[in-house]
Amino acid sequence: MPDYQTLLAQSGLERIDAQVLFSHVSGRNRAWLIAHGQDEADAAIAAAFDTLAARRRAGEPVAYLVGQREFFGRDFKVSPAVLIPRPDTELLVELALARAGQGAQLVDLGTGSGCIPVTIKLERPDLQVSAVDISPTALVVATANAAVLGAEVRFRQSDWFAALAGQRFDVIVSNPPYIEQHDAHLAQGDLRFEPRNALTDEGDGLVHIRSIVAGAPAYLLPQGWLLFEHGYDQGEASRALLAAAGFAQVQTWADLAGLDRVSGGQWQG
């Protein structure tokens, strides 16, 4: 058996990926690895590590291999039924938190892993938080995340607003599938393994954004906010849609990389 250091070095993986997979199979953190790097590897751990390393070399996302991904400082369960939470989406959460008044009603459309509503509820227990997704398998993951993290979020199956008839919210958030159907990124990296219907609208990328903007006024309370994530080149189109639908305070916000990432507006009622 090689020592642990050699086991990881020979995996052909990026160091950080190798360390995360190693921690997952061994239950040992990086500090342990530094202290024990020269120990002869345990055969069962080495075998389990090699299996995951091979899958990673074949392209599977680390988040799916270990079954979780950190978002806003908390670990969320993920499976191939849901999009892997991205740091970019933390901007959407922060903007929603800043606009939700005491006790506000908030809904997340297309919740996937549930990372958005669960984070919002844990950050702001005073809010009434609900979330919908069209996918029953995604809702299983989201419900599990809410339970494990102790967030009281009401989940239901819905094609965007379909199951919300008669309800009104102070804040509507969404990170919808906004990638254009022929975008080369769909065939690259982690995206190859994520649910295609969580990534692309099979159109120009604005299909769901148009539906959400058009539908939102019927589900917003006066002065309520609609906030949604979009691609780096969809800010202008998003603002135009919001303005045409009658929203005020229409704005686009940039993510940490300086790219347009979230747009929104306030409904005057």
Known binding-site residue numbers for S-adenosyl-L-methionine: 110-114, 133, 160, 175
Q: Exposed, middle or buried by CB within 10 Å (0-12, 13-18, 19+), for 204? A: middle
Q: Which of 52/131 has CB closer to ligand GLN?
A: 131
CB 78 within 8 A of CB 113: yes
Residue nearest to ligand GLN (CB): 112
Min CB(201)–ligand GLN separation in Å: 10
Min CB(16)–ligand GLN separation in Å: 21
Q: Exposed, middle or buried by CB within 10 Å (0-12, 13-18, 19+), for 256? A: exposed
Min CB(116)–ligand GLN separation in Å: 5
Q: Exposed, middle or buried by CB within 10 Å (0-12, 13-18, 19+), for 210? A: middle
Min CB(87)–ligand GLN separation in Å: 11
- Which tokens in the block code for residue 12? 């052909």
For the annotated binding site for substrate, the residues are 175-178
Query: Contact positions toward ligand GLN, by CB under 6 A?
Result: 83, 85, 89, 110-113, 115-116, 175-177, 198
N- to C-terminal Cα separation, the chain: 69
Full DSSP string of 121-178: HHH-TTSEEEEEES-HHHHHHHHHHHHHHT--EEEEE-STTGGGTT--EEEEEE----
Q: Which of 110/224 has CB closer to ligand GLN?
A: 110
Give dist(CA 267, CA 247) in Å, integer: 5
For the annotated binding site, the residues are 110-114, 133, 160, 175-178
Q: Which of 198/216 has CB closer to ligand GLN?
A: 198
Q: What is the dihedral of CA 60, 65, 70, 75, to 10 degrees?
A: 160
Phi/psi for 109 (5° steps) reads -100, 125
Min CB(260)–ligand GLN separation in Å: 17
Q: How many CB atoms lie within 10 A of CB 50?
A: 16
Q: Which of 157/249 has CB closer to ligand GLN?
A: 157
Min CB(74)–ligand GLN separation in Å: 13
Q: Which of 113/158 has CB closer to ligand GLN?
A: 113
